[in-house]
């Protein structure tokens, strides 16, 4: 693009330096332009050509718009959010944000969108990386997310990133200890993502239980690599007859315990 633009600039400068009359072929008519008029016409041609070339270069490269407000179409919004997620991945390389791997984020998005989740809860937002993935799925399913973070700095970053992603109508970020905040929430939730301190997972399960109807899906992160730190949680979701639980990995290194609540009562008669 810069090569073509430079050539145009050279041609324009060359023409402006010349005292000679210039002929312009306009729809078969030959127009003669001289002096000031020649300078104005050539300058206009240069700026028009520059605008067209700039616009075509942006669309050829598929660049994201500078802000979510300037993204007018769904593909532009997607491009902007992917750029933001890439920035957060770079940030995580030098900061302790403990974000899920990209493929786990993609999986969370697919899960909430395909299950048509309406009311989701995330325990452990950090700076909002997984939050944004879940929020993108919920935007398509017409759902809402409440995300909880105990650390003030990370809760603030989460709110900021949610705003940057243009998902503030879908996601509500709340600062506080989930074990204290959840009893104040209305519920019910049809999707719960647990990604907080591992030994607390069972306490989180017990706290959310009154707000989890039959049909809820619970995704517990790090359930393979850090299984020993959440043994009581895994024992509960594997042995309680109200639940079906499977382990799932998108990375082959770690993954989720995915739990489905299939019955309200712990009656063995309802067990599949
Ligand atoms: C593994 S990080 C979450 C990463 C995030 N889900 C992501 O993928 O972007 C765990 C977060 O849980 C938060 N946390 C731990 N215990 C918590 C609690 N009881 N209530 C709320 N947040 C908690 C921590 O401060 C930390 O930021």
Give the DSSP letter string of 103-126. HHHHHHHHHHHHTT--EEEEE--T
H helix or E strand, kind and range, residue 29? strand 29-33
* C-alpha 149 to ligand 1 mean position (Å): 6
* C-alpha 81 to ligand 1 mean position (Å): 22
pLDDT per position as a tens digit, 44-83: 434 444 333 333 333 333 467 789 988 989 999 999 999 9
Q: Which of 92, 101, 122, 126 to mutate to test the pocket of ligand 1 (most atoms within 8 A of CB)?
A: 126
Question: All domains of the chain, ordered by start, with CATH?
Answer: 2-61 (no CATH), 74-270 (3.40.50.150)
* C-alpha 140 to ligand 1 mean position (Å): 25
In degrees and rounded to multiples of 5, residue 18 shows phi and psi of -85, 140
Nearest alpha carbon to residue 258 among 243, 249, 246, 271 = 246
pLDDT grade for 5, boundaries at 50, 70 and 90: very low
Q: Which of 129, 146, 149, 230 to mutate to test the pocket of ligand 1 (most atoms within 8 A of CB)?
A: 149
Calculate mean pLDDT across residues 123-151.
Answer: 98
pLDDT grade for 3, boundaries at 50, 70 and 90: very low
Ligand 1 atom at minimal distance to the Cα of residue 222: 1
Calculate mean pLDDT across residues 246-268.
Answer: 91
Tokens of 101: 């791997």
Ligand 1-lining residues (CB < 6 angstroms): 98-100, 123-126, 129-130, 148-151, 154, 177-179, 195-197, 200
Count CA atoms closer than 13 A to 185's CA, side-chain side: 28
pLDDT per position as a tens digit, 170-224: 999 999 999 999 999 999 999 999 999 999 999 999 999 999 999 999 999 999 9
Give the DSSP letter string of 190-255. SEEEE-S-GGGHHHHHHHHGGG--TT-EEEEETTTTTGGGGHHHHHHHHH-TTEEEEEE-SSSS--
SS3 159: helix
Q: What is the pLDDT of residue 61?
A: 39
* C-alpha 240 to ligand 1 mean position (Å): 26
């Amino acid at each position: 693009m810069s090569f073509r633009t430079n050539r145009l600039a050279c041609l324009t400068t060359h023409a402006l330096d010349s005292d000679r009359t210039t002929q312009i072929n306009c729809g078969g008519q030959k127009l003669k332009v001289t002096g000031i008029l020649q300078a104005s016409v050539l300058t206009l041609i240069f700026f028009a050509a520059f605008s067209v070339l700039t616009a075509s270069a942006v669309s050829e490269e598929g660049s994201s718009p500078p802000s979510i407000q300037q993204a007018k179409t769904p593909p532009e919004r997607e491009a902007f959010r992917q750029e933001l997620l890439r920035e957060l991945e770079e940030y995580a390389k030098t900061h302790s944000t403990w974000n899920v791997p990209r493929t786990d984020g993609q999986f969370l998005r697919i899960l909430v969108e395909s299950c048509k989740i309406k009311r989701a809860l995330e325990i452990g937002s950090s700076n909002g990386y997984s939050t944004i993935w879940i929020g993108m799925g919920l935007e398509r399913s017409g759902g809402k997310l409440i995300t909880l973070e105990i650390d003030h700095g990370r809760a603030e970053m989460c709110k900021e990133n949610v705003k940057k992603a243009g998902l503030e109508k879908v996601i509500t970020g709340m600062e506080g200890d989930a074990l204290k905040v959840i009893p104040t929430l209305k519920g019910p939730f049809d999707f719960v993502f647990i990604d907080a301190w591992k030994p607390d997972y069972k306490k989180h399960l017990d706290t959310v239980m009154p707000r989890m109807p039959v049909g809820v899906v619970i995704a517990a992160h790090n359930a393979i690599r850090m299984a020993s730190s959440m043994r009581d949680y895994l024992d509960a979701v594997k042995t309680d007859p109200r639940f079906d639980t499977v382990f799932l990995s998108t990375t082959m290194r770690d993954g989720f315990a995915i739990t489905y609540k299939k019955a309200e009562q712990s009656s063995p008669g309802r067990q599949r």
